[in-house]
Structure 1
Amino acid sequence: MSKVILQPSGNKDARKHYEDTIQNPVPIEVLSEYLPEETLDQVKTFYLDGLVPTWGVTPGKNNVNVSKWGKIQTGDVTVFSANGQIFASGVVVMKLRHKELAEKLWGYDGSGQTWEYVYFLDEIKQHNIPYIDFNRTVGYADNYIIQGFNVLREELSERMLLSFDMKSAIYLPDVSPEEYEEEVLLFEDHDSLDTHRTGKGRKEQSFLRKQLFKNKKVGSCGICGNQYPVDLLVAAHIKKRSKCSREERLDYKNIVLPMCKFGCDDLFEKGYIIVVDGKVLRNSKKIYTPHLLEKIVHIENKECQHWNDSTRKYFEWHQVQ
């Protein structure tokens, strides 16, 4: 589950760092001098323009910031604050500890520390959220002022992310197969997970999207084959989730495929298109208006790349519904 990272940025150092490495992201050529090749290759897949918004925190007095930084994971959202408001946010892509890189980017503070607990951001957005709106959203006193680097606990983070629409559709928290299985077993009543999608119930969708898209920014629709930004694709169940057995829901590598929001998801879910022996076909049981046929003709007879011996049974279930 994504968390919110509080990052006050009102002092002189923080303002300069924001300008130097967020407003003006770090060129990947600079990072290449410090990062191992494997890490650098990862970074390149996320930042196609070669510009990497970068932030970091110092260890702090008595290493107070170290354990907080340790809680940060992919998909968390950093909010930058100053002058009584949250003015920007960014989504965490990855993190690493690198003293030499921090020294290069930001130097040292007055106590001789550098901002070596580094993390890379994406999806930088500008905001104008007064502290009082933040405080009331998370349940703090109206006069609370964000003063130190901190990571909100999950419940408060969820309120913040939903209220101000900060969640990423690309960078998702890591959910292990074991956690996914635990989630499926937790909700034995089919309707419970579908109707109560808050809290830990969101792990299932995060896990499935990460399996399909792996933090990529662009993906292909499993029906029409067209490429779209992944926030325009859904992780769609071939067989309706509420009709799946426990074993079928655990078969996550075969039960879901990406579908675009430009019609394929709805057309498939409502049965206007079916997949037979790997081909996308019109469902003869349905009624089609002329305008609907205009949509269907563009995808009819296309090859579904997700059809195989393992997914066949799910597509066959869908055909007869």
Structure 2
Amino acid sequence: MQRVILQPSGNKDAREHYENTIQSPVSISVLAEYLTAADIELIETLYPDGRVPTWGVTPGKGNVNVNKWGKIQVGDVTLFSANGHVFGSGVVTHKLHNKDLAARLWNYDKEGQTWEYMYFLDEVNSHQIPYSQFNQVVGYADNFVIQGFSVLNEERSERILTAFDLMSEIYLPEVTEEEYMEEVLRLEIEGDLDTSHSGRGRKEQPFLRKRLFKNKKSGYCGICGKHYPVNMLVAAHIKKRSKCSREERLDYQNIVMPMCKFGCDDLYEKGYIYLKDGVIHKNLSMPVTTDLLEKIVEIEGQSSLHWNENTKKYFEWHAGKYNLTVTH
């Protein structure tokens, strides 16, 4: 589950850091002087333009911030606040501990500490969220003021991420195959409710999207083949998710494919199109309008790279749902 990091940024140091290393991202060439080859390789993949929004926290008195920083993971959302409102956000892409790099970027504070517990951000955005609105969503007292670096628990984080639409669809928390399997079993026992409202499927979707998109910022629709940002692609089940057996859900490498939100996901899900031998066909039994038919004709006859001997049975189930024959 993605968490929310609260980062008050009203004092002089924080304001300068935000201007110098968030609004004006750090060059990879600077980072390369201090980081390992593995870290640089990852960062170059994440930031092809070579500019990396960078943040860090000091150990704090009695190392109070170290354990908090330890809770941070990829996909968490940092909220920057000052002067009675949240003014910015960014999504965590990577973190590391490096005192020398922190000193290079930000020097030392009056206590002799530097902001050595570092993390890197993407999807940096400006906001104007007053504390009154923030507090109401989280359930804090009306006069609550964000003070001190902290990482919120899952429940409060989910409220904020949902209310202000802050969840990343690119940077997702790591979910192991074992955790995914446990999630599948849990959903099987408890039943499939609406994940967006029940909080269920928190590990299933990140796991599937990570396997499909691998933290890439763009990808190809498995139906029309067009190239889109990943936030315009869904991890769609070839066979309807609620109709999958446990074994089929665990066959995640074959049961899911990317589909775009520009129509392909709904056209397939609602049965206006189906695949036969890897080729897209229109469903002649479905009533259509002239405009909808025009959309279907655009992709009819195209081949999908996701059709193979392992996925064939799922595509055939989909066609069979609409009494279509796809075998010779």
TM-score by length of structure 2 reads 0.94
Distance 1:134 1:268 in 2: 39
Give 1:226 shift.
Answer: 0.7
Equivalences for residues 70-81 of structure 1 within 5 A = 70-81=70-81
1:237 aligns with 2:237: yes
Worse-matched range after superposition: 232-241 or 160-169: 160-169
Q: Structure 2: which amino acid aligns with 1:31?
A: L
Q: Structure 2: which amino acid aligns with 1:138?
A: V
Worse-matched range after superposition: 52-61 or 284-293: 284-293
Equivalences for residues 1-321 of structure 1 within 5 A = 1-188=1-188, 191-194=191-194, 197-321=197-321
Q: Give the secondary-structure state (helix, strand or coil) at the position aligned to 1:257.
A: strand
> Residue 257 and residue 67 in structure 1: after superposition, are their counterparts in 2 closer, same or farther (change >3 A)?
same
Distance 1:195 1:33 in 2: 44
Distance 1:191 1:156 in 2: 24
Q: Give the secondary-structure state (helix, strand or coil) at the position aligned to 1:298.
A: helix
Worse-matched range after superposition: 170-179 or 277-286: 277-286
Q: Give the secondary-structure state (helix, strand or coil) at the position aligned to 2:40.
A: helix
1:52-79 CA distance string (max 9 Å, x none): 1100001111111011000000110000
Give 1:184 shift.
Answer: 0.9
Gaps of 5+ in 2: 322-328
TM-score by length of structure 1 reads 0.96
Distance 2:18 2:223 in 1: 42
Gaps of 5+ in 1: none
Give 1:216 shift.
Answer: 0.8
Contact 2:74 2:171 in 1 (8 A): yes
Worse-matched range after superposition: 305-314 or 285-294: 285-294
Distance 2:295 2:200 in 1: 37
Corresponding residue pairs, total: 321
Distance 2:314 2:95 in 1: 39
> Residue 288 and residue 136 in structure 1: after superposition, are their counterparts in 2 closer, same or farther (change >3 A)?
closer
Q: Give the secondary-structure state (helix, strand or coil) at the position aligned to 2:103.
A: helix
Query: Where in structure 1 do 4 or more consecutive aligned residues deviate above 6 Å?
Result: none
Q: Structure 2: which amino acid aligns with 1:291?
A: D
Give 1:195 shift.
Answer: 5.6
Distance 1:201 1:262 in 2: 24
Q: Structure 1: which amino acid aligns with 2:50?
A: G
Give 1:211 shift.
Answer: 1.1
Give 1:48 shift.
Answer: 2.2
Give 1:131 shift.
Answer: 1.4
Contact 2:195 2:201 in 1 (8 A): no
Give 1:186 shift.
Answer: 0.7
Q: Structure 2: which amino acid aligns with 1:153?
A: N
Contact 2:194 2:200 in 1 (8 A): no
Q: Structure 2: which amino acid aligns with 1:263?
A: G
Contact 1:191 1:242 in 2 (8 A): no
Contact 1:190 1:242 in 2 (8 A): no
Worse-matched range after superposition: 257-266 or 140-149: 140-149
Q: Structure 2: which amino acid aligns with 1:160?
A: I
Structure 1 match to 2:324: none
RMSD of equivalent CA atoms: 1.4
Give 1:167 shift.
Answer: 0.9
Distance 2:200 2:190 in 1: 15
Contact 1:193 1:201 in 2 (8 A): no
Contact 2:77 2:166 in 1 (8 A): yes
Distance 2:248 2:22 in 1: 44
Q: Give the secondary-structure state (helix, strand or coil) at the position aligned to 1:187.
A: helix
Contact 1:155 1:199 in 2 (8 A): no
Q: Structure 2: which amino acid aligns with 1:104?
A: R
Percent identity, aligned pairs only, is: 66
Give 1:196 shift.
Answer: 6.4
